[in-house]
Amino acid sequence: MEEAAYSDEAPAAVIAARPPALLFSANFYGTLAAARCLGRHGVDVTVADTGRLGPASYSRFVSRRVQCPPESQPEAFLQWLVDFGLREPVKHVLYPTSDELAWLISAHRSKLEDLFHLYDPGVDAVYGLLNKRRLYEVGTEVGLHLPRTWFPQSEEDLEAVRRQANFPVLLKPTTQILHATHRKGQPVSSPDDLAREYREFARDTYAPMLVKFDPAVVNPMVQEFHPEAAEGIYSLSGFVDESGELFEARAAMKVLQRPRRLGVGVCFESAPLRPDLVEGLTRLCKKLGYHGVFEVEFIQTKDSYLLIDFNPRFYGQMGFDIARGLPLPLLAYHAATGDRDALKRAVEDARDASAAHEDAVFCNRIALEMLLNLQRLSGALPADEARQWRQWFNTHKATAVDPLIDRDDMTPAAVELATISYGAARHPRAFLRMMVFNR
């Protein structure tokens, strides 16, 4: 499926004068989607990464590749970013591609705002969304529903959770920002196992910079487990400006993820916007003062939609929304450069295109084939279920959006295949745990 055309055709001289963009995390599908979107609209794109094998670095829409320290070393990374801004003759647009970068930009905006074009809502807004405790408090305050969650600070608190919670539960980091392992969660099946597994989970540390900012972040959270999360994640994604008037969104259902129980989305289907969730999301953004690109996840249960995640940044399946007429990287770019007229036109065009892609689906074909083939060989996936997924893809093939495979930009897919093969050869046990055993 081709990316929807953007109607704001600028003259060549205007395109040449546009500031370049700096993107990070070359192995992230959201970075690749942003590079393709911005490059197709005449923006020079530089991709910075710690290594050389990230698929986004090899997109034909990327003008330059540079190496940088990892975001897990925030002091060194921040210094590199400042040095880059001082060295470059033209200010780049800088927009976050990860939780770490979203927080670092907001927390250190005074060092960056003269060196880059930013569209930053401030550290209170960003951390309020990326810290699960704050998100739980504010989300509940504005009338959204969330899973039952506890934030124990002591052994007594943990004992209270053991008595009150319905098991199984999930242990989760309070935030993914600068977390040592970036584990999404750890199931705990029995009350008798909670204290032991909680202590073990808490051994995953955070970078000292974040602990200094928020000492309480080291304590994991406990959340009641909803099995619907394996197949019933409803996603709202889009853009909102600082006034709240320029708001446009798309919705999708995550229908397959890896690992199957708690993981990254492999397949999504288009879904209708739910006005109640849109209104709740609008209240949440207004309460925290958030503006920019967002992706918000809800667990769909038989009774409600439960908010579990808010990503204030580019996100993995963003290419799906771009293909459905919502060029989010371009909206963020116009907002960062202060081109209000171009931003308004782009949002209006996106609204006009909103009904044209209702049958579209998103499918990471490489991940889907590996998942089906390896789990079939291992016996972890019944043959009839594998056939159902292949039939699903064949049914939607004409409208399927792939994060990697693009007829106009094929090299990133080849790089991804090579990287997966190399990683599987180097770490076969970890590869099998993820792809075969759903862990």
pLDDT of residue 53: 87
What percent of the chain is predicted at pLDDT more than 90?
79
Over the chain, what is the mean pLDDT? Answer: 91
Question: What is the pTM assigned to this prediction?
Answer: 0.92
pLDDT single digits (tens) 193-207: 999 999 999 999 999
Structure tokens at 339: 């081109």
pLDDT of residue 10: 40
Alpha-carbon radius of gyration of the chain? 21
* Confidence check: pLDDT of 7 > 60: no
Element (H, E) at 200: helix 194-201
| Residue 138 and residue 296 in contact, taking contact as beta carbons nearer than 8 Å | no
Domains and CATH numbers, the chain: 12-127 (3.40.50.20), 148-224 (3.30.1490)
Give the lowest-confidence range in 162-171, 178-187, 207-216, 378-387. 378-387
* Confidence check: pLDDT of 438 > 70: no
Q: What is the mean pLDDT of residues 359-367?
A: 94
The count of other CB atoms within 10 Å of the CB of residue 150 is 20
* Confidence check: pLDDT of 89 > 90: yes
pLDDT of residue 260: 59
CA geometry: angle 174, 299, 355, nearest 5 deg: 120
pLDDT of residue 261: 56
| Residue 279 and residue 213 in contact, taking contact as beta carbons nearer than 8 Å | no
What percent of the chain is predicted at pLDDT more than 70?
92
* Confidence check: pLDDT of 252 > 90: yes
Omega prior to 259 cis, within 30 of 0: yes
pLDDT of residue 1: 41
Residue 419 pLDDT grade (very low, low, confident, very high; cuts 50, 70, 90): confident
pLDDT single digits (tens) 289-319: 999 999 999 999 988 999 999 999 999 999 9
pLDDT of residue 427: 67
What Cα–Cα distance (Å) separates residue 145 from each residue in 141, 172, 309? 10, 18, 12
| Residue 19 and residue 46 in contact, taking contact as beta carbons nearer than 8 Å | no
pLDDT of residue 8: 36
**One-letter amino acid for residue 389 of the chain:** W
* Confidence check: pLDDT of 91 > 60: yes
Q: What does the DSSP assignment read for 2-65? A: PPPPPS----HHHHHHSPPEEEE-TT-HHHHHHHHHHHHTT--EEEEESSS--GGGG-TT--EE
| Residue 343 and residue 330 in contact, taking contact as beta carbons nearer than 8 Å | no
The residue that leads in pLDDT, 253 or 265, is: 253
Residue 241 pLDDT grade (very low, low, confident, very high; cuts 50, 70, 90): very high
Q: What is the mean pLDDT of residues 159-181?
A: 95
* Confidence check: pLDDT of 237 > 50: yes
pLDDT single digits (tens) 37-67: 999 999 999 999 999 889 999 999 999 999 9
* Confidence check: pLDDT of 426 > 70: yes
Give the lowest-confidence range in 35-49, 108-122, 239-253, 344-358. 344-358
The count of other CB atoms within 10 Å of the CB of residue 174 is 21
* Confidence check: pLDDT of 235 > 50: yes
pLDDT of residue 273: 96
